């Protein structure tokens, strides 16, 4: 092997090592970002129509675990949301079929991942009429929700208070959403992050 050939071979080896190192760093950064900063999620159900549809992909900011009113949030619900049993409220006198929405979650956290909208903050007093939330006596902004369609799960006339450190979550598709009405508010420590962007399908790319 000539000197020029040896230099060329060494240069190629260095370039290959540099490429492998660059790819490894990029993969490491991507995993780090997904683990601690931004994570993608797929919408599994119709509960957030018309805002986001089944199969749509969103990004959640994992650094933001103290959401504001009307934020769309990714979280682990309480175990009262787990199938196959009907939703379980921490207060058996509240929830499905009762005059009051559930104001107390079951103690344990589910391994499921849900995505809903924050409609009640810690300390808020809530009533629900035909799927519309009245927060501290003020009717919510309902421009983003689908009609509840009537029925006992749409109206909870007796007021509840959201406990300290908890958030009341509801889907925008009020007649087709399994949410805090039935299994209670979500503790702040169960919040994964606030969804801020949708990237799939291409015709729905944009902020949330």
The verdict on whether 45 is a catalytic residue reads no
Say how far apart CA 146 and CA 92 lie, in whole Å.
28
Choosing from 47, 110, 177, 180, the catalytic residue is 47
**Candidates 7, 10, 39, 116; catalytic one:** 116
85 DSSP 8-state letter: S
Give all strands (DSSP E) within 6-122, no chain letters.
Answer: 38-42, 57-61, 72-75, 114-120
Rounded distance, CA 205 to CA 192, Å?
22
H or E element, residue 74: strand 72-75
What is the longest distance spanned by two Cα atoms in the chain?
89
- Is residue 143 annotated as part of the catalytic site, yes or no? no
State the catalytic residues.
47, 116
């Amino acid at each position: 092997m000539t000197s020029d050939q040896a230099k060329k071979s060494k240069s190629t080896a260095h370039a290959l090592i540099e490429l492998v190192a660059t790819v490894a760093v990029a993969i490491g950064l991507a995993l780090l970002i997904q683990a601690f900063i931004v994570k993608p999620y797929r919408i599994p159900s119709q509960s957030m129509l018309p805002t986001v549809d089944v199969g749509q992909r969103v990004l959640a900011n994992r650094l933001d675990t103290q959401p504001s009113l009307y934020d769309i949030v990714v979280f682990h619900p309480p175990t009262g949301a787990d199938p196959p049993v009907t939703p379980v409220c921490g207060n058996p006198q509240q929830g499905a079929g009762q005059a009051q929405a559930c104001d107390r979650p079951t103690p344990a956290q589910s391994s499921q991942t849900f995505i809903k909208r924050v409609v009640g903050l810690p300390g808020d007093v809530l009533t629900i009429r035909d799927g519309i939330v009245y927060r501290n006596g003020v009717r919510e902004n309902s421009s983003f929700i689908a009609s509840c369609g009537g029925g006992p799960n749409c109206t909870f006339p007796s007021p509840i208070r959201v406990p300290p450190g908890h958030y009341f979550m509801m889907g925008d598709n009020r007649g087709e959403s399994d949410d805090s009405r039935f299994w209670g508010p979500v503790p702040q420590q169960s919040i994964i992050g606030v969804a801020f962007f949708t990237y799939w399908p291409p015709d729905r790319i944009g902020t949330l």
